[in-house]
């Protein structure tokens, strides 16, 4: 069943091409851009009229020797410079504000796509995603400022032609013919420049992403002695980025050089014709000064118009990268919170009474599931129990976790939550019932407390209980500032065991009715691991529990297995044995899987 919704509408509104994104950028900031363009256009016209007013001062005051006329037009010229100065000041300010507002909007859009309840499945490194939200967002928004100056330059050229027509029709005709020719020739380089810019942006994003990835994994790189290999790989990527940047810069330089050369020839032609007309008596001295000044002015709007070519190529390349990222599919296949059903959803699931409200501990089961290395796996996680899954093959555990995170659907069989297909539940309802905590722990810059309880909802007693259950109370006690102890980005200031205990405490703090943990104690010593196993059971299944809870632990830890109500032994993608750890340990296959 497919339900129309606002979020579905939002998805259809996403730009599908780089050009569409640039057009939307202009449309979203049209008010500020229009105001900026109007004021900058006034500045351009004022710049144009400076040589004209100087010519008038010469004609009316210098040539005639009339002091009152010289003072009058000198005052007009001074007032003219006031208008010129303030129109640029406020026009540029509005344009810069539009640029910053749009950059912020794009950064927010990229971040929102990545941080949405369903997440995103990008094919880029985290550092490259960061480049999208910073450098590429700003590059796209920069087209607004350039558009402002391009409009002003175009109007400036038209007004120049009109002023020249009032002075001399031949000069006006020369401008109206010469300017389009210069622009047409430079426009021929646009496709090649766009391709070079796209290659540069991709290479720079790849280098940024690789650098961020290596910095994040510096400790394990040092641990395995792979620093030289990482450095060599980054050098290759950086060299590719440098080559792409040099190639793009070469074309930009060629376009700008071509523009400067053609503009110079064109302006020289205008000055030559003006000089010949003055010698023939067709122009007075004041008119000649005005024409020469206007010909010098023409260089500025010409540069504005031709520079747009370079800027649009860069902005289009960045826009293509952002559009590609925003089009990436969701990570979680469950439907949006508003009830849009996923493609693989059970058509009758929405009518199931169970969907109207989950029990305290929901029922979860896998029926003859085939996915990845799983080959007909049957699992039943009964509400209120601590269930451990021993997967001999790590790929079986990875496939199981992907299914429980709702990031994949089985090729055959079903994953059912409360009798409904797992991926048919709206993602917000799914999050209310199920929490899947992966083996890798992601921590954020802040403090121990902000990583443990980001929303600040836990009471002092709640904090104490989850810290004790995860043995993270030892970490807090050893920290000089307690829960206020600073934590660096990605928790690089903590050891592997400390990270695992803090991550487990955060998962327990969520108090999910159904909690799935994947190898939560692999970096913890045996004594602490036993404490964690006991604390986990006591908090979620012992006297301290606040409601019926189900806990699933995918692990090979004997301490956790011994505390489980039931253990499922998975081999070859199937469940081959089920029972208590103390009973299963009599099997040689089970002992080999657990004690190896």
580 pLDDT above the threshold of 90:
yes
* 291-295, 474-478, 572-576: least confident range: 291-295
Mean pLDDT, residues 64-70: 74
pLDDT band at 218 (very low <50, low <70, confident <90, very high): low
Number of Cβ within 10 Å of residue 393's Cβ equals 15
How does DSSP assign 7-35, residue by residue?
Answer: HHHHHHHS-SSHHHHHHHHHHHTHHHHHH
Tokens found for residue 279: 């010698």
Local confidence band at 223 (pLDDT 50, 70, 90 cut-offs) = low
Angle at 324 between CA 321 and CA 329, to 5 degrees: 145
CB-count exposure of residue 576 (10 Å: 0-12, 13-18, 19+): middle
Average pLDDT over residues 557-563: 94
The pLDDT assigned to 50 comes to 80
User: What span, in angstroms and rounded, lies between the C-alpha atoms of 519 and 554?
Assistant: 6
Looking at residue 312, its pLDDT comes to 78
Is the pLDDT assigned to residue 219 strictly greater than 90? no
Tens of pLDDT, residue by residue over 143-164, are 898 888 888 888 887 887 777 7
Portion of the chain with pLDDT greater than 90, in percent: 36
- Ranking 287-296, 309-318, 326-335 by mean pLDDT, the lowest is 287-296
Beta bridge partners of 486: 447
Greater confidence (269 vs 534) lies with 534
Q: What is the pLDDT of residues 78-113, one digit of tens each?
A: 888 898 889 999 999 999 999 999 999 999 999 888
Distance CA 485, CA 39 (A): 52
CA distance 289 to 45: 17
* Per-residue model confidence as pLDDT tens digits over 377-435: 999 998 899 999 999 999 999 999 999 999 999 999 999 999 999 999 998 889 889 99
pLDDT at 9 over 60: no
**Range scoring the smallest mean pLDDT among 4-13, 189-198, 587-596:** 4-13
What tokens does 90 get?
A: 């406020």
State the pLDDT at residue 32: 92
CB 283 within 8 A of CB 338: no
Which parts of 335-445 are beta strand (E)?
A: 364-371, 374-381, 386-391, 412-417, 420-421, 434-437
Q: What angle do CA 114, 119, 125 make, to 5 degrees?
A: 50
Give CA–CA dist 414/421, Å, rounded. 7
Rounded Cα–Cα distance for residues 585 and 591 (Å): 5
> Distances in Å between the alpha carbon of 517 and those of 175, 260, 463, 465, 551?
74, 65, 19, 18, 8
Where do the domains of the chain lie, and which CATH numbers do they carry?
103-326 (1.20.1560.10), 358-595 (3.40.50.300)
236-240, 362-366, 406-410, 535-539, range with the lowest pLDDT: 236-240
Name every residue whose Cβ is closer than 8 Å to that of residue 534 and which is 6 or more positions away in sequence. 563
**Which 3 state secondary structure label does DSSP give 285?**
helix
Q: Which is it for the CA torsion 236, 239, 243, 244, positive or negative?
A: positive
Q: 238 falls in which pLDDT band (50, 70, 90)?
A: confident
pLDDT at res. 283: 66
Do 390 and 555 meet the contact criterion of CB atoms below 8 Å apart?
yes
Q: How confident is the model at residue 310 (pLDDT cuts 50, 70, 90)?
A: low
Most confident of 282-291, 297-306, 535-544: 535-544
Determine the pLDDT at residue 347.
Answer: 34
Which of 17-21, 53-57, 390-394, 442-446 has maximum average pLDDT? 390-394
Using pLDDT thresholds of 50, 70 and 90, give the confidence band for residue 350: very low
Q: Which of 160, 112, 157, 148 shows the shortest CA–CA distance to 10?
A: 112
> How much is the pLDDT for 289?
67
> Which residue in 504, 506, 497, 496 sits closest to 447, CA to CA?
506
Average pLDDT score over the chain:
81
**pLDDT at site 287:** 67
**Measured on CA atoms in the order 328, 333, 337, 342, is the torsion positive or negative?**
positive
Please count the other Cβ atoms lying within 10 Å of the Cβ belonging to residue 325. Answer: 21
Q: What is the DSSP letter of 62?
A: I
CA 336/CA 79 separation, integer angstroms: 60
**Sign of CA pseudo-dihedral 425, 427, 431, 437:** positive
Helices (H), 513-574: 526-541, 558-563
Mean pLDDT of 313-332: 86
Q: Which of 488, 449, 466 is nearest to 539 (CA)?
A: 466
pLDDT tier at 4, thresholds 50, 70, 90:
very low
Residues comprising the chain, all counted:
596
């Amino acid at each position: 069943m497919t339900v129309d919704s606002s979020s579905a509408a939002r998805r259809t509104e996403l730009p599908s091409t780089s050009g569409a994104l640039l057009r939307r950028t202009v449309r979203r900031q049209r008010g500020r851009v229009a105001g900026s363009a109007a004021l900058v256009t006034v500045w351009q016209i004022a710049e144009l009229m400076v040589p004209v007013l100087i010519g008038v001062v010469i004609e009316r005051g210098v040539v005639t020797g009339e002091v009152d006329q010289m003072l009058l037009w000198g005052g007009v010229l001074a007032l003219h410079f006031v208008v010129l100065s303030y129109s640029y000041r406020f026009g540029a300010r509005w344009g810069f504000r539009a640029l910053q507002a749009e950059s912020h909007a794009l950064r927010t859009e990229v971040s929102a796509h990545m941080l949405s309840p369903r997440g995103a499945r990008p094919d880029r490194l985290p550092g490259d995603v960061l480049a999208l939200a910073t450098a590429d967002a700003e590059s796209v928004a920069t087209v607004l400022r350039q558009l402002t100056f391009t409009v002003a330059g175009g109007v400036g050229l038209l007004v120049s032609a009109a002023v020249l027509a009032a002075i001399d029709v031949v000069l006006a005709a020369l401008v109206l013919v010469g300017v389009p020719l210069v622009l047409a020739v430079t426009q021929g380089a646009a496709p090649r420049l766009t391709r070079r810019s796209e290659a540069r942006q991709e290479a720079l994003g790849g280098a940024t992403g690789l650098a961020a990835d290596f910095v994040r994994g510096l400790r394990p790189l040092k641990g395995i002695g792979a620093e030289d290999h990482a450095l060599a790989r980054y050098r290759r990527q950086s060299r590719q980025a440098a080559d792409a940047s040099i190639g793009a810069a070469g074309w930009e330089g060629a376009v700008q050089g071509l523009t400067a050369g053609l503009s110079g020839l064109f302006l020289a032609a205008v000055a030559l014709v003006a000089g010949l007309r003055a010698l023939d008596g067709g122009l007075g001295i004041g008119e000649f000064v005005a024409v020469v000044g206007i010909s010098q002015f023409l260089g500025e709007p010409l540069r504005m118009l031709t520079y747009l070519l370079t800027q649009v190529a860069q902005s289009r390349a960045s826009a293509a990268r952002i559009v590609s990222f925003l089009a990436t599919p969701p990570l979680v296949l469950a439907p949006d919170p508003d009830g849009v059903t996923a493609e693989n959803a059970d058509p009758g699931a929405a009518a199931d009474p169970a969907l109207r409200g989950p029990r305290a501990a929901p029922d979860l089961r896998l029926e003859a599931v085939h996915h990845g290395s799983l080959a007909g796996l049957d699992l039943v996680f009964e509400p209120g129990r601590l269930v451990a899954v021993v997967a001999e093959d790590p790929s079986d555990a990875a496939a199981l976790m992907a299914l429980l995170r709702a990031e994949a659907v089985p090729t055959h069989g079903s994953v059912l939550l409360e009798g409904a297909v797992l991926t048919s539940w709206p993602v917000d309802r799914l999050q209310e019932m199920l929490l899947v905590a992966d083996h890798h722990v992601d921590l954020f810059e802040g403090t121990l407390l902000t990583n443990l309880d980001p929303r600040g909802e836990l009471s002092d007693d709640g904090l104490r209980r989850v810290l004790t259950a995860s043995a993270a109370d030892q970490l807090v006690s050893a920290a000089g500032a307690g829960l206020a102890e600073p934590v660096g980005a990605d928790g690089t200031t903590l050891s592997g065991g400390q990270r695992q205990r803090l991550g487990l405490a955060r998962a327990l703090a969520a108090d999910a009715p159904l909690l799935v943990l994947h190898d939560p104690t692999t970096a913890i010593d045996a004594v602490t691991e036993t404490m964690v196993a006991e604390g986990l059971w006591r908090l979620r299944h012992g006297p301290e529990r606040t409601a019926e809870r189900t806990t699933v632990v995918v692990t090979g830890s004997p301490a956790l297995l011994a505390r489980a109500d039931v253990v499922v032994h998975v081999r070859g993608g199937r469940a081959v044995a089920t029972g208590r750890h103390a009973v299963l340990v009599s099997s040689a296959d089970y002992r080999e899987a657990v004690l190896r």
